[in-house]
Amino acid sequence: MNYQQILDDIYTEIQPYLSKGKVADYIPALAEIPKEQFAMTITLADGRVFSVGESKKCFSIQSISKVFTFTLALNIYSKELYKRIGVEPSGNPFNSLVQLEYERGIPRNPFINAGAIVVTDSLISHYGDEYKALEVIMNFVREISGNEELSFDSIVANSEMEHGDRNRALGHLMKSFSNLDNDVIDTVMTYFKHCAITMNTEELSRAMLFLAFAGTDPISKKTFITPRQAKRINAVMLTCGHYDASGEFAFHVGLPGKSGVGGGIVATIPGKMSIAVWSPGLNKYGNSLAGTIALETFATKTGLSIF
Ligand code: GLU
């Protein structure tokens, strides 16, 4: 298959959609990003990489980081983790408080904010403090992406902290149900920092490769999780990776994926490749508008999906 040609065609077809969508503005530092930008990268098992657009331009990965922290926590706690978070789609916006109240502080899944905050809390408990936990998260993402220099944007993290009342509220509510062990502010700040990691689509696509290949990176041959855990993470991406538009994404794209409000989306085609796409304009669910269309087009043109 001529993947470069397919990506080039997608790039042409996607142009009219770049001006549509709305950049996330509830994090002021993200509101300043020009929305008419697009990048897409696929990485194959043999190390071949195909890209189009601004694939070397770094952006805020935001909720995509939840895949990496969930991977780390699952590796440490295994099934025990599910005592504190579920694996059901929420059918609610990513930062909803309502469900959390009537489900007694147990978040529906690790990819809504409440669930990711619990995951971060579990890492802080395991590693002893928030600095060590953040260092482990950063080193893990550096290792899987192949970029040792990778870092987070403290301007974005602080901007989110300044406007993070809702996430702090989620933390306090869970603490009131004894589902948060560490200090709410420290935990939420660590969560904001890992959301503020900046990566480009080449790095992100590379970082997702181990999840497309049952937990073992086919290029470095390093195993990060068991095939069973990789299956679970892919399943949760498929059912919960796009907030309350997860059903729609599964329906139209048919791939496990995870989006972030920075406009990035990652996806896996198990046994074949990993994909990352970026375009900052979001649809009404907070998922990249052009990015979602690009993935749908890719699935259609290649005939690749998990179904
Ligand atoms: N850091 C963002 C928040 O907590 C992540 C949201 C997202 O990417 O969907 O609001």
Distance of CA 245 to the CA centre of its chain: 14
Q: Which two tokens stand for residue 71?
A: 């991977």
Catalytic residue among 96, 118, 191, 258: 191
Q: 62 CA to middle of ligand 1, Å? A: 5
CA distance 165 to 143: 33
Q: Which of 261, 266, 285 to mutate to test the pocket of ligand 1 (most atoms within 8 A of CB)?
A: 261
Q: Which two tokens stand for residue 242?
A: 């796009």
3-state secondary structure 204-251: HHHHCHHHHCCCECCCCCCECCCHHHHHHHHHHHHHHCCHHHHHHHHH
CA distance 95 to 224: 29
Q: Is there a contact between 221 and 70 (Cβ–Cβ < 8 Å)?
A: no
Looking at the DSSP assignment, which residues form a beta bridge with residue 147? Answer: none
Q: Is there a contact between 51 and 41 (Cβ–Cβ < 8 Å)?
A: yes
Query: Which residue's structure tokens are 């074949």?
Result: 272
Q: Which of 30, 63, 199, 246 to mutate to test the pocket of ligand 1 (most atoms within 8 A of CB)?
A: 63
Query: What pLDDT is attached to residue 57?
Result: 98
Q: 243 CA to middle of ligand 1, Å? A: 11
Query: What pLDDT is attached to residue 95?
Result: 79
CA distance 120 to 142: 18
Whether 136 sits among the annotated catalytic residues: the reply is no
Catalytic residue among 51, 63, 90, 145: 63
CA distance 234 to 209: 12
Whether 66 sits among the annotated catalytic residues: the reply is yes
pLDDT along the chain (307 residues), means of 10: 97 96 90 94 97 98 98 97 94 84 94 97 98 98 96 96 96 98 98 98 98 97 97 96 91 95 97 98 94 97 91
List of domains in the chain: 3-62+197-301 (3.40.710.10), 63-195 (3.40.710.10)
Query: What pLDDT is attached to residue 168?
Result: 97
Position in ligand 1 atom list of the atom nearest CA 260: 8
Q: Is there a contact between 20 and 289 (Cβ–Cβ < 8 Å)?
A: yes
Residue identifier of the C-alpha nearest atom 4 of ligand 1: 113
Whether 131 sits among the annotated catalytic residues: the reply is no
* Total Cβ atoms within 10 A of residue 155: 12
Whether 261 sits among the annotated catalytic residues: the reply is yes
Report CA-CA distances (Å) from 280 to 24, 149, 156, 187, 263: 8, 23, 15, 27, 4
Whether 132 sits among the annotated catalytic residues: the reply is no
Ligand 1 cavity residues, CB under 6 Å: 62-63, 94-95, 113, 160, 167, 195, 260-261, 286
Position in ligand 1 atom list of the atom nearest CA 95: 10
